[in-house]
Structure 1
């Protein structure tokens, strides 16, 4: 009788977990291990690029790869883990409630944007967190030119000055000029709670973000927080007002609530605090990976971030360890000591740093070329070739 590894989610972590598990089974010559991916659709949505235009093209079909590696895809929406029965309840596309058993479960259900209860943001705001919401923003931006000329029409407020907010804000000036005309007086405003531009980053990186913002004409409102969003703009907690037809929320991400019935520690982002092998303590047949895992990257106290850079490697280790535990192969403690940042800064270029101390290595066009290579090639699924895919899925192979 076949054993089953069930993977929840087809994002970066889920897709790579499946390929990595298939690699271990192949290396062991095992044909009795079923690797199944449960997700709404058999595609990778390239979320790190959702700040770009033409968002509908930013997906990758996983069916050829899964077929090549004999990975089973199951269409559905995972709802609940039944750990006592070693199974998952999910809704099929026809809304039927179905139970699927597992021998090993890998939770790679990702994360969602958190609005923190801000009034009006759900009704009047936009975001680029998911494919459908990013498409909604793109459709809205494309329709601005048909609206009467006004300062509010020409203004976009980006709420949150983190990685996503910076990439979106720096992309917008040229995008708005393209949509509204090069002579249009457009404005992009970033509302940031912190006291510094790029306050989470190194001093060298902060300066580059600030310089790029100045050159691109981006206004920052620091020490500021959103009170309410309405159809005409945003009111800040200090009482000031920004009239804008477009308000985009980029602040705050929370791990998926899937698995919330498990008795396990979670961090303040909702991620499971996992072992070195990415198991959830107390559940030796359940792993968490990607944005669902609070995992130590090294012995220096660093923890994986909710980025595709970490999700890809977390997925490879989770898939390897789940398959290894079933096939009598030694597992691998998750390690990802090398950390880089490659931040797109729109028409200014980009900036590339290395190490947790974020030492700047490239800027402007040189960094932009690297950024394009990363987001257009490196993070995409491998081609549907067994040898190529398995070589890339090796957790110990060089990634970045």
Structure 2
């Protein structure tokens, strides 16, 4: 009798944690586990701000799936459809070929993507902060703005270059902005024509507070800390336009900026639109407390794309928040429930009370609230690093990250822009189309 096939759509933190636990729990020959994702690696998103700021080597915050999931099948492909009535999914492989895959058990954990709004100029001027590519781009972009600003005598251009706008006051936006501002403040000391006071950092948040994940006092503390560093926090404010880099806010302020970072929320992966699975009004897959998709005995979901009942809440309609904390714990219960289903045992409900939050706000600064205990400054910063180091999958990645932090103690940050990473063929194309002109980086061709 052939092995039952467990197909996992999504190799993010939830999918990787699930596959690792299944690999440890399943007996030889009990099931065939396949992970399918568009990327061959998992990105640990809580470390993206530190990778952008240069505290961590970007390669160390990603985990290669094939390295971590020995014993599992890994497919690099884009799922384009799910037909549960036929227990089949459709995927486009890297070579463009479309294939159909059957399954006995399906796990849907593709995560989420940035939720952009139809604001004029956003698509042309903005950049998100969910991938390692975006983090590296922003690091290079911010540093290159300092380079150009230090070289120009045009005051209007300099103000535009040194104005940085972040939209969204949740954890992603706050941590990204705080780390990049800390990096830029350190780097700008090497650019004598400009000073930290020349930079303008603006945080735009539509709600009346930032970081809704923590208590109001901790949110207010974080706001004060950012403002003490010169960051403008605009609450109850929305962005109206970014056309040609001209920022228009709902409070009437207008200014030019060369940097717009969009972190104002996420939405379920659009792949779910090409499926026959039940979804709620926000596009999330509807699930029961056992993490099974409603009405589907052998289909499970978890993480940002799933609407899962929060059994710890007094509100019967409450759902689990789309946080990394929930996603990882859901993955563990999900793995145990898949094993229970294969072995004909009773499944377990997911039940976890939110323990708290930790945030890094730049070098030696942080805010944390864990089980009612509030920490600020260096203790919170150390807790943030320690918590996420413990959550980072695989021992080799933990060791590399710890090594990066230790190397940062005796040596300064490497604040240099490597813009060529985003267009590595530009110089060669220029050389190939040039006849006899000298290059500033070498001899004449």
Bucket of the pairwise TM-score, normalised by the shorter protein: 0.7 to 0.9
Helix, strand or coil at the partner of 2:352: coil
Q: Using the TM superposition, give the Cα deviation of residue 120 of structure 1 relative to its aligned residue in structure 2, in angstroms.
A: 1.2
Q: Which whole-Å deviations, capped at 9, do the CAs of 1:218-250 have from their partners, x for residues lacking one?
A: 111122111111343411134421322111111
| 1:364 corresponds to | 377
Q: Which whole-Å deviations, capped at 9, do the CAs of 1:350-386 have from their partners, x for residues lacking one?
A: 122124xxx34322111111111122x22211348xx
Q: Using the TM superposition, give the Cα deviation of residue 263 of structure 1 relative to its aligned residue in structure 2, in angstroms.
A: 4.5
In the alignment, the residues of structure 2 paired with residue 144 and residue 342 of structure 1 have an alpha-carbon distance, to the nearest angstrom, of 30
8 Å contact kept, 1:9–1:38:
yes
Helix, strand or coil at the partner of 1:98: strand
Gaps (5+ residues) in structure 1?
A: 385-400
In the alignment, the residues of structure 2 paired with residue 42 and residue 279 of structure 1 have an alpha-carbon distance, to the nearest angstrom, of 26
In the alignment, the residues of structure 2 paired with residue 184 and residue 361 of structure 1 have an alpha-carbon distance, to the nearest angstrom, of 30
Q: Which whole-Å deviations, capped at 9, do the CAs of 1:118-176 have from their partners, x for residues lacking one?
A: 22112111221222222222221121133135122111111111111111222232211
Instruction: Answer 1 or 2: higher relative contact order, Cα 8 Å, separation at least 6.
Output: 1
The equivalences for 1:316-395 within 5 A come to: 316-347=332-363, 349-355=365-371, 359-375=372-388, 377-383=389-395
Q: Using the TM superposition, give the Cα deviation of residue 100 of structure 1 relative to its aligned residue in structure 2, in angstroms.
A: 0.9
Q: Which whole-Å deviations, capped at 9, do the CAs of 1:305-347 have from their partners, x for residues lacking one?
A: 2222111111122222123212223322111124210012224
Which moved further from structure 2: 226-235 or 111-120? 226-235
Larger radius of gyration: 2
Q: Does 1:56 align with 2:68?
A: no
In the alignment, the residues of structure 1 paired with residue 94 and residue 73 of structure 2 have an alpha-carbon distance, to the nearest angstrom, of 16
8 Å contact kept, 1:114–1:254:
yes
In the alignment, the residues of structure 1 paired with residue 38 and residue 159 of structure 2 have an alpha-carbon distance, to the nearest angstrom, of 41
Aligned to 1:265, which of 279, 283, 290?
279
Helix, strand or coil at the partner of 1:279: coil
Question: Under a length normalisation based on structure 2, what TM-score does the superposition of the two structures give?
Answer: 0.79
The equivalences for 1:171-186 within 5 A come to: 171-181=179-189, 183-185=195-197, 186=199
8 Å contact kept, 2:365–2:377:
yes
1:271–1:372 CA distance, 2 compared to 1 (3 A):
same
Helix, strand or coil at the partner of 2:242: strand
In the alignment, the residues of structure 1 paired with residue 244 and residue 183 of structure 2 have an alpha-carbon distance, to the nearest angstrom, of 22
Which moved further from structure 2: 3-12 or 121-130? 121-130
Which moved further from structure 2: 137-146 or 87-96? 137-146
Q: Using the TM superposition, give the Cα deviation of residue 251 of structure 1 relative to its aligned residue in structure 2, in angstroms.
A: 0.1
Q: Does 1:128 align with 2:129?
A: yes
Structure (1 or 2) with the greater strand fraction? 1
Aligned alpha-carbon RMSD (Å): 2.0
**Aligned structure 1 segments of 4 or more residues deviating by more than 3 angstroms:** 196-201
Gaps (5+ residues) in structure 2?
A: 151-157, 397-445
8 Å contact kept, 1:277–1:334:
yes
1:197–1:14 CA distance, 2 compared to 1 (3 A):
closer
